[in-house]
Amino acid sequence: MSRGVAFSFVWMLAANALGQQVSASLDRSTTSVGESVNLSIVCNDFTPSSQPVLPSIPGLRFASAGTSRQFQFANGKRTSSYTLNYQVSPLKSGNYSISPIQVRHDTRLFRPKPLTLRVLPAGQRPKNDDGLSQYAFVRLLPGKTEAYVGEVIPLEIQLHYIDGVNVQLPELTADGFKVAAFPKHKSSRMQKGNRIYQVLTFQTAATPLKAGELQLGPVKQSMVLRLRKQQSRRSPFNDPFDGFFDRYQQVSVNLEAEAQSITVKPLPTAGQPAGFNGAVGRYTMQAKASPLEVTVGDPVTVNIQISGQGAIESLNLTKLDWPGFKSYEPSVTTTKDNPLGLLGTRAFEQVVIPESDTLAEVPRIEFPYFDPVSGQYRLLAKGPFPLKVNPGDQPVAPAAGSAPETEEPEPPPQTDILTIKHHLGPLGQATPLIARPGYWLLQSIPLLLWLGALAWRRQANALAANPRLRRERQVAGLTRVSLAKLETWAESGEAGRFHTELADVLREQIGLRLDIPAEGITGDIIHSPAAHQQISEAHRDDIRRLFTASDQASYAGSQTTGELKAYLDLLKNLIHSLK
């Protein structure tokens, strides 16, 4: 048993290692001098052991724009993504190839595909650009740029806008793909430069239906922007309310994100198992048959569950058409563990009837599928299950150890007349129930429970009506956990993990103090007007020092425990001062 558990644990670690991937993308491939673009590096199922190495390209300048993490748990499996954002500022026009980008994790080195960026002269805009891209733009972010036929590719479409209404669902062109419906979008905020954008994230999944170099996109999305008008100086003799209600104008815009190239590889023909019906993903299988002792003609129910990651709703089993059994169509149910249906369970329940008492087993159940991570076919199998079939004229013997049925005993005879007792005996000397303290204690329990529920409800209502208080409590909880981690990593000298966690805690504290989103906060925040108003100069210097230390952690080599503890003490003092 222990060996089986150890083998399963090692297999899970190997599966996680095989699932590690890196992809890079730009929010747009054409810009002009003076207008920056956003570079996103997405690490699936791991966190880099050091800062990514970006190429040194004359004419382009790279600056960190923060990080973000996403976690998801389903069926005992954990999937995660760690995104590093960079601001790419062009200094002169030309066509650039952003390569190589190197991301290291322990001993492995990842190199995502090269990216191309076209930079136009200052003031010149790309074709069909009406100058509104600084107020709103849309991004198409595929989860991967290489896949197999039938492999599910998660997609994100992000709409960034400063102020707008009447947002329509995105229209995705995906020739050669099967695209799932959009679930409810997610809302967030992001700071880019001196602007804060509202971000709507639409998630979906695309499954390639053929091999080749396919284009996923473009994405088109329409909305109405609210733009501030240029206000002219009014005369003091005019109406004081003139222009107050029309200082904004509404402009309908049609946004577009460029298509992304996806390399789709065909499924290999070598090693394809018999019965393969196109299942692509990573799965596990459970199966059982019951009962295992029947009479000829009695049904046996076979239950099969296939769980994992892939196109769950399209999974099908080969028909269980076994010799000596009469089979019926199975009933199928699907359970999704995420809105896109990429994780879940597909359950099959099928009834088979043995037609002969010579049958000794329910045959082996097999499910072949293709694993896109390892690039190999795999076969899941359960059974065979031992089966005892009794002839039709012999009933099934009762289970061993069961007690024989007995007739219900007759009630004892009763006398005709019972004498009336004139004295209650000990019962007459008992204390009345209403005079016992325990009685009143039991009666008070419902009242105490009601009062406790009322107090809890009032506290919950007060918390729901105070988003500032909710955020303070959330940040306080995250800070306690992070400080414990920082103490441990400072003692062990793990500088990379220490500085990554330190930067996250610092962003949360600054975001709480300035009432802005924590994502995307960098050391440049100390130059903002809000920081000058609410944070003293000494504390702004401490913030700059901590952010600089975190950004340079991957290039400065190892640091001593004393240096890490000094940074931790500085962080604690800063947190106390920001409250």
Which residue has 């012999």 as its token pair? 394
Q: Does an H or E element contain 464, and which? A: helix 437-464
At 201, list the tokens.
């994230």
Q: What is the mean pLDDT of the chain?
A: 81
pLDDT band at 428 (very low <50, low <70, confident <90, very high): low
Residue 569 class from Cβ within 10 Å (0-12 exposed, 13-18 middle, 19+ buried)? exposed
Q: Between the ranges 22-31, 203-212, 222-231, where is the mean pLDDT highest? A: 203-212
* Over residues 260-275, mean pLDDT: 91
CA distance 26 to 240: 47
Residue 464 class from Cβ within 10 Å (0-12 exposed, 13-18 middle, 19+ buried)? exposed
Q: What does the pLDDT look like over 436-445, one tens digit per residue? A: 788 788 888 8
Q: Using DSSP bridges, classify how beta strands 21-26 and 37-44 pair: parallel, antiparallel or unpaired.
A: antiparallel
Q: What is the CATH number of domain 281-390?
A: 2.60.40.10
Q: What does the pLDDT look like over 185-215, one tens digit per residue? A: 888 888 776 678 899 999 999 999 999 999 9
pLDDT band at 461 (very low <50, low <70, confident <90, very high): confident
Q: Is the pLDDT of residue 12 over 80?
A: no
Domain boundaries, the chain: 20-227+247-265, 281-390, 467-578
What Cα–Cα distance (Å) separates residue 359 from each residue in 192, 193, 322, 390?
71, 74, 11, 10
pLDDT score of 411: 58
* Over residues 292-304, mean pLDDT: 92
pLDDT band at 244 (very low <50, low <70, confident <90, very high): very low
Q: Is the pLDDT of residue 415 over 80?
A: no
Residue 98 class from Cβ within 10 Å (0-12 exposed, 13-18 middle, 19+ buried)? buried
CA distance 566 to 574: 12
pLDDT score of 209: 92
Q: What is the DSSP string of 359-399?
A: --EEPPEEEEEEETTTTEEEEEEE--EE-EEE-TTSPPPPP
% helix, strand, coil for the chain, step of 5: 25, 35, 40
**Helix 537-551 × helix 495-514 angle, to 10°:** 140
Q: Is the pLDDT of residue 410 over 50?
A: yes
CA distance 59 to 204: 36
Which residue has 């991937």 as its token pair? 21
pLDDT score of 299: 93
Which residues, in sequence order, are CB contacts of 214 under 8 Å at separation 6+?
175, 176, 177, 208, 261, 262, 264
